[in-house]
Structure 1
Amino acid sequence: MAGLHQNRSGEMEVFVRVVELGGFSPAARAEKMTPSAVSKLISRLETRLGARLLNRSTRQLLLTPEGCAFYERATRILADIEDAERAAGAGEQAMGRVRINTSASYFNHILAPVLPDFLALHPGVTLDITQTDAVVDLLAERTDVAIRAGPLKSSSLIARKLGETALTIVAAPAYLERCGEPRSVAELDAHTRLSFGYVRAIDGWPLLEDAKTIVVPATGRVQASDGEGLRRLALAGVGLARLTSFTVRDDIAAGRLLPVLEHLNPGDTEAFHAIYVGQGGPLPSRVRVVLDFLTQHARVN
């Protein structure tokens, strides 16, 4: 049994090398193997798992969805093995500074409330948190972990999913009393639609019309750089805003904001991920404990 597990961890390590170094040849050099041996090992692994992990072409290797999932789990397992060996040998606990980049909405409503628990669990870790909705270059900004919303672009970055949340159009009671409540897409033309000040994956509000989903431009006189800013504007009665459910859940429950056009909500969701840079090996324990805590205690819904 021990030999079987050792072989599996070895397969994982070679597979991770292939993904992070971008091919069989560089992985073979790193692992002191031949490219043919690496190729055969990956083929055996795929056969044992019953799933294709890599799509091969003459120019590049691309991860399949199954390969992405296996890569994420494999890097986590290898990191756990290294941390376990290090801890057994030196009694090490996670130590050092972790730089986190996140949106103000996620920080205020999801992360901040659970930070005391993290700090109690890991007294050797220091957190440096920056709040922005802008997409940052993790290497240039020396960021260890970034929390991002929306679809992920193909890149060398690795992601752990933190969940999905619905979106809702909301307005303050004072705004609806002053301007009336829209009942149809056409009636939105007479209303102030608060929008983000940057281009998003879907630059508008998806709504149902005649059983089809259309995207209504969210162009108004007021824009904000982040979701928390839009929430504040909506609370002040400036206009309508379409925001993630966790951002406005408490406001709706307290009557500070009211859902609008729910009968036209197509039910789309926005995914959140914790993004980090693959290091070519196991993650530092200080980063791993942050990622593990986020995926267990700071999920969105």
Structure 2
Amino acid sequence: MHELPQTRDLAVFLSVVDHGGFAEAGRFLNSAPSTLSRTVSRLEAELGVTLLRRSTQAIELTPEGRDLMQAAREIVSRAEGLTELATQSRAPRGPLRVDAPVPFVLHGIAPRLCGFHLRYPEIDLTLDMNDAVVDLFGSHADVAIRFGPLRDSRMLRRRLGQTGWTLVGAPSYLDRHGYPERPEDLADFGQVRFAAPEHINDLRFKGVPELVRPRPIVTATNGEAVRQLVIAGLGIARFSDFMVADDLAAGRLVPLFPEALEADPLDITALYLTRASGLRRLAVFLDWLEEILRPAT
């Protein structure tokens, strides 16, 4: 009877693929690259196929390796699930690395994270803050939080909620420039702009056939910098609702034409490699994110 490959060997193969090479996987697994290379070679010998094309600079999956990758993820996830099931009486524990945009960490996660820690004190959470979209395979993160349309076809995903948009200005700015009576009046206002994606700067309103284009004042590559500049009275900008909810409640910012602004809400999605059902610390973190993003009723 043909002997099935060891789950640990499949896990090593996946780690090498996800980290883009033996050296990177070795650092992550705290193991010598030569040891990992022998493990993958043993797996290839057992299966009778070549899984990876190796060079001094990179690795590349063969078609057989690509086919095995999907099956291996399922096998490793199920094995992790059995381990979790055997210890389900214990609280979720262990390291969990999360990659998320800077504004979402600052305004969505950080203000509520104490509650998560009190509920799951044995989960060792690491937050990587990135405004740019990162490659989850190369970032070493367990889960990435992303907004809007997705391109990562290889990833498992879970929709956590949505966020709308609000156009705002600081009272100090509006006191100096006057409060607009119509959306078209905003063409005479200054705008603090996002460097990317540029569509955030587009202002469309119901009943107004063309884009309203305020005067560009300054452009920033970081969403939190845009927020601080608007609070300081430099100009107007539109933000995801979660970014400015506290500012609106405290009166630091004022909404402008909230019923007339036309902007499609953004889906908030978690992307991950390991099935959440097979890793309890990931599952409870995603449940918690969905909970804090649920609209208040």
Q: What range describes the TM-score normalised by the shorter chain of this pair?
A: 0.5 to 0.7
CA RMSD in angstroms comes to 3.2
Alpha-carbon distance, 1:217 to partner: 5.6
Q: Does 1:269 align with 2:265?
A: yes
1:54 corresponds to:
none
2:94 corresponds to:
96
2:107 corresponds to:
109
Q: One-letter code of the match for 2:246?
A: D
- For 2:86 and 2:129, the matched residues in 1 are separated by 33
- SS in structure 1 opposite 2:270? strand
Alpha-carbon distance, 1:197 to partner: 1.6
Q: Does 1:242 align with 2:238?
A: yes
- SS in structure 1 opposite 2:151? coil
- For 2:97 and 2:218, the matched residues in 1 are separated by 32
1:212-254 C-alpha deviation (Å, 9 max, x unpaired): 5x54467723122333222211110011010122221222222
1:87 corresponds to:
87
- For 2:294 and 2:279, the matched residues in 1 are separated by 22
1:123 corresponds to:
121
- For 1:282 and 1:163, the matched residues in 2 are separated by 19
- For 2:292 and 2:245, the matched residues in 1 are separated by 18
> Size of the alignment, in residue pairs?
222
Question: Closer, same or farther in 2 for the Cα pair 1:80/1:294, shift >3 Å?
Answer: farther
On the 8 A contact 1:272/1:300 being kept in 2, the answer is no
- For 2:85 and 2:162, the matched residues in 1 are separated by 35
- SS in structure 1 opposite 2:127? strand
Question: Closer, same or farther in 2 for the Cα pair 1:217/1:187, shift >3 Å?
Answer: closer
1:129-150 C-alpha deviation (Å, 9 max, x unpaired): 1222211111111111111122
1:252-283 C-alpha deviation (Å, 9 max, x unpaired): 2222111113353126322211221256x954
- For 1:211 and 1:80, the matched residues in 2 are separated by 55
- For 1:292 and 1:85, the matched residues in 2 are separated by 18
Identity fraction in percent: 32
- SS in structure 2 opposite 1:139? helix
Alpha-carbon distance, 1:120 to partner: 2.5
On the 8 A contact 1:110/1:300 being kept in 2, the answer is no
Alpha-carbon distance, 1:80 to partner: 9.7
- For 2:94 and 2:147, the matched residues in 1 are separated by 27
1:255 corresponds to:
251
Alpha-carbon distance, 1:101 to partner: 1.3
Q: One-letter code of the match for 1:94?
A: P
Runs of 5+ consecutive residues of structure 1 not aligned to the other structure: 1-73
> Normalised by the size of structure 2, how large is the TM-score?
0.64
Question: Closer, same or farther in 2 for the Cα pair 1:300/1:206, shift >3 Å?
Answer: farther
On the 8 A contact 1:82/1:282 being kept in 2, the answer is no
- SS in structure 2 opposite 1:85? helix
- For 2:269 and 2:295, the matched residues in 1 are separated by 10
Match of 2:204 among 200, 204, 207: 207
Q: Does 1:227 align with 2:256?
A: no
Q: One-letter code of the match for 2:237?
A: A
On the 8 A contact 1:162/1:272 being kept in 2, the answer is yes
Question: Closer, same or farther in 2 for the Cα pair 1:300/1:241, shift >3 Å?
Answer: farther
> Normalised by the size of structure 1, how large is the TM-score?
0.63
Alpha-carbon distance, 1:92 to partner: 5.3
On the 8 A contact 2:97/2:141 being kept in 1, the answer is yes
On the 8 A contact 2:161/2:293 being kept in 1, the answer is no
1:9-65 C-alpha deviation (Å, 9 max, x unpaired): xxxxxxxxxxxxxxxxxxxxxxxxxxxxxxxxxxxxxxxxxxxxxxxxxxxxxxxxx
Q: One-letter code of the match for 1:253?
A: A
- For 1:203 and 1:222, the matched residues in 2 are separated by 14
Runs of 5+ consecutive residues of structure 2 not aligned to the other structure: 1-73
